Structure 1
């Protein structure tokens, strides 16, 4: 099949408003838009101005009315508890109505904010949809976040209600949520009026009626059967706030609107991911992240798909074959996860023996995003799964892919290391620090031409000026992605690193991502990270960290020397790549991003804060000790705040 990409992208370029007007016909509107795009509204313009709709209606009600009510909307698979349950569209609609009735009884109205702080359980997803039904604005905070981080989000959103659970489950331990919620409310200047707590059998906690803490299941059971209509909202009204860590320590509240969000997400399902209504689509992520919002909850439901809600890990629940079990048991057609998950699986099962235990013949494609996909991981996944492995690139701020090889439009030739070409809606340039375009193949700042398409953030929550300053001012006429990369002669985009991961070694701008690519080629290396550390002579020099595959018995110093030699051979002596260290695990966020910035601060003896999103705080201790033994960091920690 020849790709239709160029025809479709050309149609968007020729008539952007006409392109999105056509895409918007797939959505049910209560009132049609007055204008498809109004450049005078908002910070850089707004999409579908004057239109009214409701996201929950488009996700549930219209499918049930169209006869899709008995199709599975969600499959819940908890590798932590062994629970498996399927929910039809009609069943989800009934549950969402009941939760919406509870929220309405607790005083939640259109525009009110509700913080959801829950594990990966169906009730969390249903609560998101219940907020959307009422026109309330949900803000999901990853379950288990530190109390002070939760408090900051309560303050910024001025939430009227918290929905939480008694606990979350991690391999080998139960994480109590209630004490974290209590502490956050104590710290918050703006305190929610009520709390709804889902009691899980692994930990039942006492609730205090005087503090307006209510049992989630009891309240919902009492409201079951009540009919709650969808509240019409403007297309430009906010659907949710999703907080990302800000460089100032103040979290950034990324706002997503109702209309543009639905139009863009629904367009991606058949065109980018290549899935049809009724098929099973699985994004192995968490609703605390943007992938969970976009591709566990909203996009699959908008398109009439069955989505998988998975509670577990790629390894350790119980082994590195759990993903293949879920794909096989549920006949998943398209699978989406993070590269870090595959690196963990490859580390534990380097030969892919556990893949052979499951029938994956129904799987058509694997999509990977969330962190740079190194070519070695891509090749391993292709060899073991025998399906197209599609790297794609986007951000919390964009809400949907910016660069991808679109399955539904017909795949283009692959280039390892590149997520392929920019999608309709986006125009990308690569510029130097002064904003001037750089030649093809030259490393620079990746920027997106304004206006951003539907589905992207219109602003930060109650912070238009902060949005302008941090995202739009440095490169006028563009949105700053804060990623660095190149565009080659064929128009393929290579996203090499965050701009703060570009190091200046003796006047040469070098990408740590390109060095990591070389490190990952070593047959004994499962994962790697390269950071730049201060050097009195060269300004900065690269420092590599390796995680070896299980069962490697060779001397680590020998492997480190070989990796250093590979980098010098492939990138050149200019890289000054001499320092290579082996660690048991890399410090990562719970979403799988390696904490390179924090590692660099430790190496340079700068003050650093234990990230609230860190998965395992002990990994940073190991990095600090390893750096100290190699003459970089001081033995004492300069940490300024504890992890949660």
Structure 2
């Protein structure tokens, strides 16, 4: 990076966080949004730690995502590309067509007595109707809460009882490799378990999946309506003007107490932050094709399948499929080629899955991905080996960036729209403008030396686009995020800065293990295991040890075609850790698995693995991709002893 580029980035970051310049910085950024009442104030503190962005401004997020592009003469541009690797369906919707569908479905909601501040649960697969439903809620000021399609009835019921929606929007089901998942029986059971806030269920039929609204029309007090019929009868709804701080959505994330936390996002700060990020982090311009290979049930899907691309006038891809197996490890490259994707955003786990099946990128050679000018990864730490494999094989910049459900957009990233900044393997590069990151020790004091791991915290106020709070519980917001380090938001992650100001996020703070008094980062140990040429993926965690308190245990999967003897591999991995970390790690415990248990977003379920190894009670996480993996894990670790 040139000195000029470095100076330009750091000057901009300083403007965004300094007390005397941050208001002007964000009011300037807010000009990228169309306001019905433009803000004159950037921020306001309502109570300790509780900040509101653009408090005197009014807008409508749906209008900003759709209407303004049509009014500007770009209605014929493609807004959404739907690609189902399961059914072979491919559909393009222009901005004008998407606007028409959103207007009509907003009318359906209004006809069913949904108004400003009412909640609507969206329980849909990866189909265009998911985008339509979310934008329709935003259009009339209703608060949507997207629940991952196919979630267990008990988990859906918990979210119903917390959000108290009057309407559920769903489909007859979703498609997974080799099977269909029927949603309507799950919805029916969830309603039976819940406390009765839901009055109406609106169902989108999918011909390949059994079940429709008529099958449930006469069962109980809830009205079951057919989406297509209601849409044909609806009066299109115009966008309503909302205060910047009015809630846009609730998105549930797991809580440490076992009950989900409903993260609340506002309208104004959210729109400004996402529009700023598309131009300055992802370097996306109107008309570019942006593909977030995620799911609308996760925050990535909210921010970068639905809202950010449309706010910026780009084309977004909604993909119903997997990185491998639908039909092969070239699935992602086929989508990039077919739609000339400019930026692909996915999880490191997806790239590792491709690497495991196709380590030599044979499938990539069959596709033209020359349109791709960036691969952005988030969700789990990007290990250096996977970084090098992707960076060398794709011949486009690979960017590890770090953020959370709570923040809604990147905390640290390589801002490719701002400056040409070199990447460093293992690092999320620099704090994004608006985020003042500090590394704190256990007493809440800044660490004195670069390179020293500590608690990653963000000095308040958080920038626009981050959480308003936890739905229905101001106390929970304070206790979960603000109480550990007064004046800071506690991210729950550990890491450090290097001498050049690059941030390294090493893992969750509870992933730091204590082996006979020595604190070890599981991220550092995983980095070493992935150096072995046979290892595709790995997880390291601290399990109970009667002598040392904890010991590091490694769980690995092999690349396709790897034939190494398991005992030989274990011995070589132990030697690797000893060479790179030293005998202090006391690493002697290796388990080789066919698959690691993961969430449907690709995160490895480290807590569940640890509970199984330690023989503790555990519940099957509702977010798990395949519960049968846990049975295989239990068999693999039963009676396991450390290698000598």
TM-score class normalised by the smaller sequence: over 0.9
Aligned equivalent of 1:629: 639
Measure, in 2, the Cα distance between the counterparts of 1:313 and 1:13: 39
The TM-score with structure 2 as length reference comes to: 0.96
Q: Show CA shifts across 1:11-46 (max 9, x none).
A: 223411111000001111111225211113585221
The answer (yes or no) to whether the contact 1:43–1:464 under 8 Å persists in 2 is no
Deviations 1:270-292 (A, max 9, x none): 10000111110100000000000
Q: Aligned pair 1:319/2:325, yes or no? A: no
Partners of 1:284 and 1:553 lie apart in 2 by 31
Equivalents in 1 of 2:270, 2:565: separation in Å?
52
Matched residue of 2:403: which SS?
A: coil
Aligned length: 630
- Distance (whole Å) between structure 2 residues aligned to residue 91 and residue 257 of structure 1: 26
Aligned equivalents of 2:236, 2:479: Cα separation in 1? 45
> Residues 42 and 458 of structure 1 are in contact (CA less than 8 Å); yes or no, is this contact kept in structure 2?
no
| 1:559 positional shift | 1.1
- Contact 2:85–2:320 (Cα < 8 Å) also in 1: yes
Aligned counterpart in structure 2 of residue 35 of structure 1, from 36, 41, 65: 41
Question: Could you tell me which of 10, 14, 22 is aligned with 1:10?
Answer: 14
Q: 1:391 aligns with which of 400, 417, 422?
A: 400
Query: Residue in 2 aligned with 1:558?
Result: 568
Give the match for residue 597 of structure 1: 607
Asked if 2 retains the 8 angstrom alpha-carbon contact of 1:23 and 1:267, the reply is yes
Helix, strand or coil at the partner of 1:35:
coil
1:96-111 aligned at under 5 Å gives the runs 96-111=102-117
Instruction: Report the Cα offset of residue 209 of structure 1.
Output: 2.7
SS at match of 1:332: coil
Q: Does 1:367 align with 2:371?
A: no
Residue equivalent to 2:229 = 218
Report the Cα offset of residue 191 of structure 1.
3.2
Residue number among 307, 310, 330 corresponding to 1:301 in the alignment: 310
For the pair 1:432 / 2:441, whether they are aligned, the reply is yes
Aligned-partner Cα distance in 2 for 1:40–1:335: 38
Comparing 41-50 and 211-220, the one that deviates more: 41-50
Matched, 1:337 2:343: no
Give unpaired runs (5+ residues) of structure 2. Answer: none
CA distance in 2 between partners of 1:541 and 1:486 (Å):
23
Instruction: State the distance in 2 between where 1:219 and 1:614 align.
Output: 34
Deviates more, 1:478-487 or 1:40-49: 40-49
- Matches of 1:68 and 1:28, distance apart in 2: 16
CA 1:408–1:384 in structure 2 vs 1: closer, same or farther (change >3 Å)? Answer: same
Higher deviation after alignment, 598-607 or 204-213:
204-213
Partner of 1:26: 32
What residue is the counterpart of 2:97 in the other structure? 91
The answer to whether the 8 Å contact 1:43/1:459 transfers is no
Confirm or deny that 1:404 pairs with 2:410.
no
1:313-363 Cα offsets, whole Å, 9 max, x none, are: 000100000000000010001110000000000011010010000111111
Distance in 2 between the 1:182 and 1:510 partners? 47
Find the residue that maps to 2:438 and give its secondary structure.
strand
Q: CA RMSD in A?
A: 1.2
Moved over 3 A (4+): none
Which one of 263, 273, 292 corresponds to residue 264 of structure 1?
Answer: 273
Which has the larger displacement, 297-306 or 427-436?
427-436
Contact 1:44 1:450 in 2 (8 A): no
Which moves more between the two structures, 394-403 or 13-22?
13-22
Aligned to 2:121, the other structure's residue is in SS state strand
Q: 1:22 to 1:107 in 2, by over 3 A?
A: same
Given candidates 528, 549, 553, the residue that maps to 1:543 is: 553
Structure 1: gaps spanning 5 or more residues: 633-644
Residue among 495, 516, 519 paired with 2:526: 516
CA contact (8 A) 2:536 2:559 kept: yes
1:5 is displaced (CA, Å) by: 1.5
TM-score, normalisation: structure 1: 0.96
